[in-house]
Structure 1
Amino acid sequence: MRIRAGYDIAFNCFQDVPMVLMLTVHPSRQGDLLTDHAIRVSPNVALRDYKDGFGNVCTRLVAPVGQINIRNEFIIEDSGLPDEVAPHAEQIPLDWLPDEALVYLLGSRYCDTQRLTDLAWSTFGRISGGWRRVQAICDYVHGHIKFGYQFARSDRTASEGHEERIGVCRDFAHLAVTLCRCINIPARYCTGYLGDIGVPPDPAPMDFSAWFEAYIGGRWYTFDARHNHPRIGRVVIARGRDAADVAISTAFGQAELVRFKVITNEVRDCDAIPTRPAMAREQRVLA
Structure 2
Amino acid sequence: MLIRYGYELTLNCQQPTFMLCMLDAHRERAHHIRYETPVITTPQIDSSTYIDLYGNHVRRLIAPAGDLAICCDAVIDDSGLPDPVVLDAQEVVMEQIPSNYLVYLLGSRYCETDKLGDIAWQLFGSTPRGWHRVQAICDFVCDHLTFGYEYARATRTAYEAFEERKGVCRDFAHLAVTFCRCMNIPARYTNGFLGDIGVPSNPTPMDYNAWFEVYLDGGWFTFDARHNTPRIGRIPVARGRDAIDVAMVTSFGPHSLTRFRVWTEEINEGVLQDLIAASLESEALAFHRN
TM-score by length of 1: 0.95
- Is 1:198 the counterpart of 2:198 in the alignment? yes
- 1:70-219 equivalence runs, <5 A: 70-219=70-219
CA shift, 1:270, in A, is 4.6
Q: Which residue of 2 aligns with 1:29?
A: 29
Deviates more, 1:21-30 or 1:67-76: 21-30
**C-alpha distance in 2, partners of 1:265/1:220?**
26
CA shift, 1:24, in A, is 2.3
**C-alpha distance in 1, partners of 2:20/2:98?**
30
Determine which structure has the larger helix proportion and give its number: 2
Q: Is the Cα contact below 8 Å between 2:2 and 2:269 reproduced in 1? A: no
Q: Which runs of 5+ in 2 are unaligned?
A: none
Q: Over the residues paired in the alignment, what is the CA RMSD in angstroms?
A: 1.5
CA shift, 1:268, in A, is 2.7
**C-alpha distance in 2, partners of 1:140/1:197?**
25
**2:90 partner SS:** coil
CA shift, 1:269, in A, is 4.2
Q: Which runs of 5+ in 1 are unaligned?
A: 282-287
Write the letter of the residue equivalent to 2:107.
Answer: G
Q: Is the Cα contact below 8 Å between 2:22 and 2:57 reproduced in 1? A: yes
Identity value in percent: 51
**C-alpha distance in 2, partners of 1:194/1:89?**
25
Q: Is the Cα contact below 8 Å between 1:147 and 1:166 reproduced in 2? A: yes
Q: Which residue of 2 aligns with 1:57?
A: 57
Q: Is the Cα contact below 8 Å between 2:20 and 2:61 reproduced in 1? A: yes
**C-alpha distance in 2, partners of 1:128/1:67?**
53
Q: Which residue of 2 aligns with 1:264?
A: 264
**2:35 partner SS:** coil
Deviates more, 1:60-69 or 1:92-101: 92-101
Q: Is the Cα contact below 8 Å between 1:19 and 1:251 reproduced in 2? A: yes
**C-alpha distance in 2, partners of 1:156/1:5?**
28
CA shift, 1:37, in A, is 4.4
- Return the structure number with greater relative CO, CA threshold 8 A, min gap 6: 1
Q: Is the Cα contact below 8 Å between 1:194 and 1:235 reproduced in 2? A: yes
Deviates more, 1:185-194 or 1:265-274: 265-274
